Amino acid sequence: MMPLTKILIVDDEPPIRVACAKILSEQGSTTVVAENGLVGLEKAKAQDFDLVLIDLKMPQMDGMELLGHLNVLDPDLVKIVITGFATLDTAIEAVQKGAYDYLPKPFTPGELRTRVNRGLEKRALLREAKRLREEREKNLLELANEKNRTQTIIHCMGDGLLVTNRDRQVVLCNPSGRRLLKVKRPVQVGEPLDQVAGCPEFVELIESTLNLKGGQEMTSKEISPASPSDPVLMANCAPVKDEKGQIIGVVTVLRDITELKELDKAKSTFVSMVAHELRAPLAAIEGYLDVILDGVGVEDPQKINRILDRSRERTRGLLALINDLLAISRMQGGRVSREKERLQLSSLLREVVELIKGEALERQVELVADFSEELPLISANREDLTRVFTNLVDNAIKYNRPGGKVFVRARANDAFIHVEVQDTGIGIPKEEREKIFDEFYRVKSKETQRISGTGLGLCIAKRILEAHNGDIEVESQMNVGSTFRVLLPI
């Protein structure tokens, strides 16, 4: 007995419809009947059937026309035509119209079952073929999608990826790999390794990976640049093995470590500079203390006080240096801009001017504040901006002359606030202006040798402003003065 199936019987003769339905129901099929082609088409549209029995000669819509509609509705639907006017031409035409088989009237129950069961087997085969086709298409689609995803990942990797086989031929090289290896053309599969990677050191590394002994899983080496403009590469190679554990190739990941090498060098330079900057004040303080402890030539209390004053100045300079170093360290740790608030810049500038007014009087420099009290609010960290403008105004006073002036101006323009700190001091040489924002850099001249400072103030100010999406620039003329301009977004 066939599996449960659903059959549509379309015939304008009630005895034929009833007899076919009874015979097919007895073998376990669900049957639905229709008295003509129009009714049969509507029922075929409303329900899914495995097989349709169609009488060719019917009023309103004959079997041939119904065959055409059913072919469009479901090409895999099995259709068997039945008629009392059987001719060879009719059979051929019905098959051409999409009929699977032909059953002439009158027919026995056995003939009906044989034709129908054969048709249902055909339907089952068609369904299985369709399922397999859809599954294959789905698998191919998934495979294509997976391949595309893998290719996208490989092509978007920042690190270089190079795969070679045991014949020293390149199997895969992603764009980053070509860039790092200085290959300015597409790499073809099967190219010899030495044509893609011209560095003998790199070729030797892959060669040694192909010859790894048991227990060794990876080789790594820093590849020195062939020229100063080339990057410093770290190559990590791992063998590719088959199911028997035999090495069949090498996968290599290339990473540009030029910045890391430069950072290590910068750290070493920074440590050396810090040690130098700390050594001088500490040595001076130690010398002053030795003089007092030895007691030679320091019986005069006034001389002792002068020595202690100098020691205190050196100590203050040392503390200022340490504070600046801590600030630099905080910025390098990505914590330049702390909690921000909506603040009024004019009030902050007024506080800075009031705070530093005493130093200006002591150095006989006139401090002029020229800005509106109604500047727009900005989003910033108060402590950081106070540090910036205190440093700029303090420098303008220290590098000025007795009787000179310092102007602090601020105005709003478009979406920014412009702040200027202008002095009438000694000025900055043209060749020095780009360097004054570097760490520990100080302009060295007869005028500046007696002015204390750490060489970090402007570096810190620039980093703070960059963290606030702002900027700073300088204009200067020797023996006329300097103007520092700060730009802050509103």
> What is the per-residue pLDDT for 459?
85
Q: Taken in order 153, 155, 158, 163, is the CA torsion positive or negative?
A: positive
pTM above threshold 0.85: no
Domains and CATH numbers, the chain: 6-132 (3.40.50.2300), 157-256 (3.30.450.20), 260-332 (1.10.287.130), 341-489 (3.30.565.10)
pLDDT tens profile 391-402? 899 889 988 989
pLDDT for residue 277 is more than 60: yes
pLDDT for residue 98 is more than 60: yes
pLDDT tens profile 424-448? 988 888 888 878 888 777 676 666 6
- Looking at every residue in the chain, the average pLDDT score rounds to 83
- The C-alpha atoms of residue 42 and residue 99 are separated, in whole angstroms, by 19
Structure tokens at 94: 């019905």
- The C-alpha atoms of residue 235 and residue 227 are separated, in whole angstroms, by 18
- Maximum average pLDDT range among 92-96, 199-203, 236-240: 236-240
Taking residues 248-256, report their average pLDDT.
Answer: 89
- The C-alpha atoms of residue 419 and residue 389 are separated, in whole angstroms, by 9
Taking residues 4-27, report their average pLDDT.
Answer: 90
Phi, psi of 187 (to 5 degrees): -95, 125
pLDDT tens profile 318-360? 777 777 677 666 665 554 446 788 889 999 999 999 988 888 8
Kindly indicate the confidence band of residue 452, based on its pLDDT and cuts at 50, 70 and 90: low
- Cβ–Cβ < 8 Å for 95, 102: yes
354, β-bridge pairs? none
Kindly indicate the confidence band of residue 217, based on its pLDDT and cuts at 50, 70 and 90: confident
- Cβ–Cβ < 8 Å for 47, 6: yes
- Maximum average pLDDT range among 51-55, 83-87, 269-273, 340-344: 51-55
* Single-letter amino acid code for the residue at 358: G
* Single-letter amino acid code for the residue at 204: E
- The C-alpha atoms of residue 487 and residue 468 are separated, in whole angstroms, by 10
Q: How wide is the angle at C-alpha 146 spanned by C-alphas 145 and 147, nearest 5°?
A: 90
Taking residues 272-281, report their average pLDDT.
Answer: 69
Residue 408: strand, helix, or coil? strand
> What is the per-residue pLDDT for 1?
43
> What is the per-residue pLDDT for 32?
93
Closest CA to 178 of 147, 155, 201, 206: 155
- The C-alpha atoms of residue 406 and residue 481 are separated, in whole angstroms, by 10
Kindly indicate the confidence band of residue 366, based on its pLDDT and cuts at 50, 70 and 90: very high
Taking residues 374-402, report their average pLDDT.
Answer: 89
> What is the per-residue pLDDT for 94?
82
> What is the per-residue pLDDT for 424?
92
